[in-house]
Amino acid sequence: MSFKKKISILGATGSIGQSTADVICGNADAFDVISVTANQNAPELAKIAKRLNAKNAIIADESKQEELCTLLRDTDINVYSGAKAINEASIDGCDIIMAAMMGFSGLLPIVNALEKGIDVAIANKEPLVAAGAQIMALSQKTSAKILPVDSEHNAIFQVFDTKNKAAIEKIILTASGGPFRTWKSTEIYNATVEQAIKHPTWSMGRKISVDSASMMNKALEIIEAYYLFDLPSEKIEVLIHPQSIIHSMVAYNDGSVLSQMGASDMRTPIANALAWPHRIDSHGNKLDLHALSSLSFEKPDFDKFPTLKHAYKCLERGQDACIIFNAVNEIAVEKFLEGKMKFGKIFEIIDHAMNEIYAEHKGNALKDIAQIVELDHIVRNQTVQFIEHRL
Ligand SMILES: NC(=O)c1ccc[n+]([C@@H]2O[C@H](COP(=O)([O-])OP(=O)(O)OC[C@H]3O[C@@H](n4cnc5c(N)ncnc54)[C@H](OP(=O)(O)O)[C@@H]3O)[C@@H](O)[C@H]2O)c1
């Protein structure tokens, strides 16, 4: 192998974390694993730490430290716990981190890594939605590279001609359309958790699966693309492509449309991001073009999935709107997954937030990460209050 990188995986027990472990195991000469982290799942964290021969295993939930110590007692792996250890210790000594924690909780380690000049392979889109301007500025300041892992953004990254950026007419984010693409609005409103997390083409964590069903995932990706590629929102388009083979495209003014294709397997964008600027075998599923009968495309339905409209509105309004949009959705999805409300309520809560909660906070001058964390926190509390008392 022509390179060797020291890496930590944040969110190692999740869907992206496990796929990252597969890529690393398949390319053992290229990586030394420093830390693996999780929230609560000590048994899975111990398993993955052993599998990757990690130096440290770090669990956010301090009450799980003893269990993790017991599970790893016959090894040399160091055990730590607590959010501070994840945010700070997990990135020490790395060349690159895989940011694959769930939601906004992944923000601080990303910021800390970038401040130290450590490259970030970023799957965790919510921190980019809430703090994209600050994250991109930090990367510029320290020259730490941000490598997109989300399959759409990784596809664009692979075919984005930075030297001819002025010739880019638009980027086209493809979307499978999720499990409810062909459902009527009334059916979507009453969808169960099992139906919402049954994604037609990808196997993912529960939160992102629900986001895919509401098209919130694509909405977050519009904002993610805006920051990652520094393009105005008019140049960011969404196209439904139910087969999830073309992972996104870049259209140039000479009429060329460049795309990246691959099987629906996150090991491909993960391998691309971790190895960059090299290429390695993902050891994942490879595309068999002979087995494909057709590739189809449709316009997205903005009325059935208003989350898409909101994303463009948030970009028009600014960072405060993006933070609110993300925070409210995280709470709404959590309540839906807990069985506390119907799927359709997610749309109602986001509508409320984009009107009332936004009106209360708009114009907030968000100067630093601490203020972003504070606004996120306030909005979460307001959303809980709204769900408990007014919904
Ligand atoms: N899955 C995909 O195919 C995919 C594709 C593109 C982008 N993404 C993005 O990648 C991120 C991860 O997605 P996923 O599907 O892998 O999620 P997931 O399967 O739910 O895994 C989330 C990981 O984060 C950990 N975690 C959760 N809350 C935490 C907290 N408060 N503190 C520390 N660790 C915490 C979890 O630990 P426990 O296991 O202990 O709970 C787990 O390791 C999301 O931002 C998602 O949008 C995912």
**Measured from the CB, is residue 119 less than 6 Å from ligand 1?**
no
Distance CA 128, CA 219 (A): 13
Residue 74 is predicted with a pLDDT of: 96
Distance CA 346, CA 7 (A): 36
pLDDT in tens, 153-164: 999 999 999 999
| Cα angle 158-122-32, degrees, rounded to a multiple of 5 | 100
Residue 255 is predicted with a pLDDT of: 98
Residue 366 has pLDDT above 90, yes or no: no
Class of domain 318-391: mainly alpha
Q: What is the arithmetic mean of pLDDT over 26-35?
A: 98
pLDDT in tens, 137-182: 999 999 999 999 999 999 999 999 999 999 999 999 999 999 999 9
Distance CA 246, CA 295 (A): 8
d(CA 16, ligand 1 centre) in Å: 7
Residue 364 is predicted with a pLDDT of: 78
Best residue among 102, 126, 154 to mutate for probing ligand 1's pocket (most ligand atoms within 8 Å of CB) is 102
Residue 276 is predicted with a pLDDT of: 98
Predicted TM-score (pTM) of the model is 0.97
What b/e string do you get for 338-364 counting C-beta neighbours within 10 Å, with b at 16 or more?
Answer: eeeeebbbbbbbbebbbeebbeebeeb
**Measured from the CB, is residue 13 less than 6 Å from ligand 1?**
yes
Cβ–Cβ < 8 Å for 109, 99: yes
Helix (H) or strand (E) holding 129: helix 125-142
Confidence of residue 272 (pLDDT cuts 50, 70, 90): very high
Q: What is the arithmetic mean of pLDDT over 18-40?
A: 98
Q: Sheet containing 257-261: give its strands across.
A: 236-240, 168-175, 246-252, 257-261
Distance CA 249, CA 239 (A): 10
Residue 123 has pLDDT above 90, yes or no: yes
**Measured from the CB, is residue 11 less than 6 Å from ligand 1?**
yes
pLDDT in tens, 53-65: 999 999 999 999 9
CATH homologous superfamily, domain 5-148: NAD(P)-binding Rossmann-like Domain (3.40.50.720)
Residue 365 has pLDDT above 80, yes or no: no
Would you kindly state where each structural domain of the chain is located, as residue ranges? 5-148, 151-264+285-314, 318-391
Residues in the chain: 391
d(CA 266, ligand 1 centre) in Å: 13
**Measured from the CB, is residue 105 less than 6 Å from ligand 1?**
yes
Residue 89 is predicted with a pLDDT of: 84
- CA 73, distance to chain mean position in Å, is 33
Residue 285 is predicted with a pLDDT of: 97
Q: What is the arithmetic mean of pLDDT over 259-264?
A: 97
pLDDT in tens, 74-84: 999 999 999 99
Q: What is the CB-side half-sphere exposure of residue 40 using CA atoms within 13 A?
A: 1
pLDDT in tens, 280-323: 999 999 999 998 889 999 999 999 999 999 999 999 999 999 99
DSSP 81: E
